[in-house]
């Protein structure tokens, strides 16, 4: 399941729970693109309570939408990732180091208050 919400004008929240099929991936990415319209200097809270690899078809959907997803890079300044999977926290921070203009910081799943404070700072 991939759920995207927009709690404020310049913030989106993403929750990834379990594996994604092509339809879930398409809907989630379309929601992210739609909810990101008009966002500037945005923040993102990405919560991953349980991770499973997406289906091959879902990865195909993500690849076809990749050009549109790159358009989001200039809209967001910070992304906080909440997960208990250490390898995902490491991968998120490495990804943040490689993406110009976007700072990604990872927190344990129970670190919501710290993540919220970091996003607000």
- Condensed to tens digits (0 to 9), the pLDDT of residues 76-112 reads 999 999 999 999 999 999 988 888 889 999 999 999 9
Q: Is the pLDDT confidence value at 114 over 90?
A: yes
HSE-CB of 33 using CA atoms within 13 angstroms: 14
Question: What is the predicted pLDDT for the residue at 59?
Answer: 94
Q: How far, rounded to the nearest angstrom, does the alpha carbon of residue 28 sit from its chain's CA centroid?
A: 10
Helix (H, G, I), strand (E, B) or coil at 42: strand
User: Which H/E stretch holds residue 112?
Assistant: helix 112-120
Neighbours of 26 (CB within 10 A): 18
pLDDT tens per residue across span 27-80: 999 999 999 999 999 999 999 998 888 999 999 999 999 999 888 888 999 999
pTM: 0.91
Residue 2 has which token pair? 């991939």
Distance of CA 2 to CAs 61, 91, 112, Å?
Answer: 14, 19, 19
Helix (H, G, I), strand (E, B) or coil at 7: strand
């Amino acid at each position: 399941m991939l759920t995207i919400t927009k709690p404020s004008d310049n913030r989106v929240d993403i929750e990834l729970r379990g594996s994604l099929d092509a339809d879930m991936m398409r809907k989630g990415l379309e929601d992210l693109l739609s909810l990101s319209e008009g966002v500037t200097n945005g923040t993102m809270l990405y919560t991953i309570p349980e991770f499973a690899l997406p289906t091959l078809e879902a990865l195909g959907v993500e690849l076809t939408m990749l050009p549109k997803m790159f358009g989001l890079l200039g809209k967001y300044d910070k992304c906080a990732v909440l997960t208990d999977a250490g390898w995902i926290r490491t991968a998120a921070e490495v990804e943040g180091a490689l993406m110009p203009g976007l700072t990604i910081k990872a927190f344990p799943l129970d670190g919501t208050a710290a993540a919220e404070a970091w996003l607000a700072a």
